[in-house]
């Protein structure tokens, strides 16, 4: 299954999905330092892109023909460790993720974030975008602590 990772950071989500048998065909992020680390760990394209630019992002992602899009939009605006103001700007990237997924229309998508996102309007707006695009939604809180 062909996967594209958005907000790939240094590649944690890509690594997990790769170990689960997915073929990660491309990754996108806007943070040069994280992409430098990513490129040392993976051989597929890791592309610097402003994912807030939905049209340009969709155009760059489409040729990879993903069956699934995975991604973890930045959590700082939602995290209990942060300022917890979903309107600081980074929260808008959750909406951008939903818009990109709805334009590319992969068969599946996985979005990872912090538990506190469940209490935000940004998540509700993203869920509306996903549902309008025809996706059924299942979500859960996963405690991955050892």
Domain boundaries, the chain: 2-132
The CATH H-level (homologous superfamily) assignment of domain 2-132 is Vaccinia Virus protein VP39 (3.40.50.150)
CA separation for the pair 101, 73 (Å, rounded): 12
Q: If pLDDT is split at 50, 70 and 90, which confidence band does 78 have? A: very low
Residues belonging to the active site: 75
CB 52 within 8 A of CB 98: no
Query: Are the C-beta atoms of residues 107 and 67 closer than 8 Å to each other?
Result: yes
Q: Does the pLDDT at position 71 exceed 90?
A: yes
Q: What is the pLDDT of residue 9?
A: 95
Report the distance separating Cα 47 and Cα 115, nearest Å.
28
Helix (H) or strand (E) run with residue 4 in it: strand 2-6
Mean pLDDT across the chain, nearest whole number?
Answer: 90
């Amino acid at each position: 299954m062909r996967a594209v990772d958005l907000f790939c950071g240094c590649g944690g989500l890509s690594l997990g999905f790769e170990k689960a048998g997915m073929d990660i065909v491309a990754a996108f992020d806007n943070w040069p330092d994280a992409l430098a680390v990513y490129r040392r760990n993976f051989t597929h394209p890791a592309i610097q892109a402003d994912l807030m630019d939905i049209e340009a992002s969709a155009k760059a992602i489409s040729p990879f023909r993903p069956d699934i899009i995975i991604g973890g939009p930045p959590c700082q605006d939602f995290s209990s460790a942060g300022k917890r103001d979903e309107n600081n700007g980074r929260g808008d990237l959750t909406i951008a993720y939903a818009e990109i997924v709805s334009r590319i229309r992969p068969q599946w998508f996985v979005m990872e974030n912090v538990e506190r996102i469940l209490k935000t309007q940004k998540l509700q707006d993203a869920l509306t975008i996903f549902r309008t695009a025809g996706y059924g939604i299942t979500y859960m809180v996963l405690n991955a602590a050892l």
